[in-house]
Structure 1
Amino acid sequence: MIEIERVSRAFGGLQAVREVSFTVATGSITGLIGPNGAGKSTLFNIIAGSIPPDSGAIRLQGEDITGLPTHRLFHKGLVRTFQIPHEFSRMTVRENLMLVPAAQRGENLLKSWLSWWKVVREDREILRRADDVLAFLEIDHVRDELAGNLSGGQKKLLDLGRTMMTDARAVLLDEPGAGVNRTLLGKLAEAIERLNRERGYTFCVIEHDMDLIARLCDPVMVMANGELIAEGDMASLRQNPQVREAYLGTGSSGQTGTGT
């Protein structure tokens, strides 16, 4: 689905990412872990189109998307979430979802005047779709709540729901577990698993919660000092001396702090 080939990026004299290559296979939930400063967020931003690489290539289903801006990648089916959710706080949860679909007729003044019946029909379909998403994520009980009043975990579920309002083929999840209580974290993990299993979503996940990574992700990519140092399933990576030294630490429980 996503191919990262020898991608590098420097900021002044700091080499944040150095010739990183790996593939996010179609239908997989691929993890990306590493210590603070490993280059994970920089790589994510490159894949998502927020910053261009200095060298290397990114391909989405064989198409070269290197350096394309975020809004163009959105239309190609590559979307992302953020460590800190970016909801419209003074709009309801349902309204936050209904904003997402692109090129709505109601956004065009002329079409609103001349084809109002089509606008109404489209709005009804978007409303139905938003309610389906809320039911899927089991947050339909807060549909009319202002998004700014949600808990951290509910905001993460809303963020995931917004990806479901697109024609996403691949989703980049940036620390979905950050700031989420254990109960809602389980619900979030279950939603990701169901989207992958039932609807064929492909995910690439940055996360510091090793239990969540172990539950969701196979394979897992490990970065340190801007380089890819290992890949595999979490069971094998926990026993990898290079990974233990760089990230997990000998005798670590596998839980680390936040930050990238």
Structure 2
Amino acid sequence: MSSDLVIDVRNVTKRFGGITAVNDCSLSVRRGSITGLIGPNGAGKSTLFNIVAGNIVPDSGQVIFDGKDVTGCKPHELFRIGMLRTFQIAHEFSQMTALENLMMVPGDQPGEHLVGMWFRPGLVQARETEVRKKALDVIDFLKLGHVRHELAGNLSGGQKKLLELGRTMMVDARIVLLDEVAAGVNRTLLNDLADNIERMNRELGYTFFVIEHDMDLIGRLCDPVIVMAQGQKIAEGPMAEIRANPAIIEAYFGAPAEVA
């Protein structure tokens, strides 16, 4: 495998009863890219995304992450080695502040253990200070300072998506899987969200794998764009090429005027 591949999906198949959702599918995500995954309803893209994220185990094939076979690994195991996912519906701790939500992310903090709290209070305090500083830096980066002490449950849909994005910045993510990031977000906050994804990619070197129905957002963020249909990859390239492919436009996007 080439060293610049963060995700390498190899001949993955997944069946549910008599339905083949993903059919011998292979695709890859290159390091430093914002790669989009699109296709019509029933194309298999959500199933494939869940396989990569560790939520579904494939019937056959492999998922290679940074050179390691992670097929069948659980989401928490993938989290520990740098694969993070955001969700279509934000998963915030609603009764904690935005700042506290971010501070919860890093694992194995000494304050999580009674021994550390009782016998190493200095270490606990030092680590908490370090995590708090990191969280404040993330909040500043995402321009969420005005809501840092607001309960996360009170945030708007777009602010919750920004907070989820911030949670991926609290650890050393090798790749971030973005699941329907535009869902439930107004256009103003969606523009902010897109700006931050681009900044994270450009300034911090984040790699993103994006599943999304909003073609304008895909067109803005993603290169390459992978198209799935009937459980397989059928095309890959810049969005301009995807939009210009008459067969794809007719079969998956409708009339050309609808996607211009």
TM-score category of the 2 structures, normalised to the smaller one: over 0.9
Cα distance in 2 for residues equivalent to 1:227 and 1:41 = 12
Gaps of 5+ in 2: 1-5
What are the within-5 Å matches in structure 2 for residues 91-106 of structure 1? 91-106=96-111
Q: 2:155 aligns with which of 150, 162, 167?
A: 150
Q: 1:17 aligns with which of 19, 22, 38?
A: 22
Q: 1:123 aligns with which of 120, 128, 132?
A: 128
Q: Deviations over 1:5-53 (max 9, x none)?
A: 1111011111111111111000000000011121111111100111111
What are the within-5 Å matches in structure 2 for residues 56-205 of structure 1? 56-205=61-210
TM-score (norm. length: structure 2): 0.96
Task: Letter of the 1:184 partner, please give it.
Answer: L
Partner of 1:242: 247
Larger mean Cα displacement after TM superposition, 242-251 or 204-213: 242-251
1:36 aligns with 2:41: yes
Q: Deviations over 1:39-87 (max 9, x none)?
A: 1111111001111111111111111111111111111101101111011
Cα distance in 2 for residues equivalent to 1:6 and 1:248 = 26
Is the contact made by 1:209 and 1:254 (CA closer than 8 Å) also made in structure 2? no
Cα distance in 2 for residues equivalent to 1:93 and 1:76 = 25
TM-score (norm. length: structure 1): 0.96
Is the contact made by 2:14 and 2:21 (CA closer than 8 Å) also made in structure 1? yes
Cα distance in 2 for residues equivalent to 1:103 and 1:25 = 30
Is the contact made by 1:224 and 1:246 (CA closer than 8 Å) also made in structure 2? no
Partner of 1:258: none
Q: 2:12 aligns with which of 7, 11, 14?
A: 7
1:213 aligns with 2:227: no
Q: What's the offset of the Cα at 1:225?
A: 1.8
Task: Letter of the 1:247 partner, please give it.
Answer: Y
3-state secondary structure, aligned to 1:218: coil
Cα distance in 1 for residues equivalent to 2:257 and 2:231 = 22
Q: 2:238 aligns with which of 233, 254, 257?
A: 233
Cα distance in 1 for residues equivalent to 2:220 and 2:242 = 14
Is the contact made by 1:94 and 1:144 (CA closer than 8 Å) also made in structure 2? yes
Task: Give me the identity figure in percent.
Answer: 61
Cα distance in 1 for residues equivalent to 2:248 and 2:165 = 30
Q: What's the offset of the Cα at 1:252?
A: 4.2
Gaps of 5+ in 1: 256-260
Is the contact made by 2:250 and 2:256 (CA closer than 8 Å) also made in structure 1? no
3-state secondary structure, aligned to 2:256: coil
What are the within-5 Å matches in structure 2 for residues 46-65 of structure 1? 46-65=51-70
Runs of 4+ aligned structure 1 residues displaced above 4 Å come to none
Is the contact made by 2:12 and 2:60 (CA closer than 8 Å) also made in structure 1? yes
Task: Letter of the 2:239 partner, please give it.
Answer: M
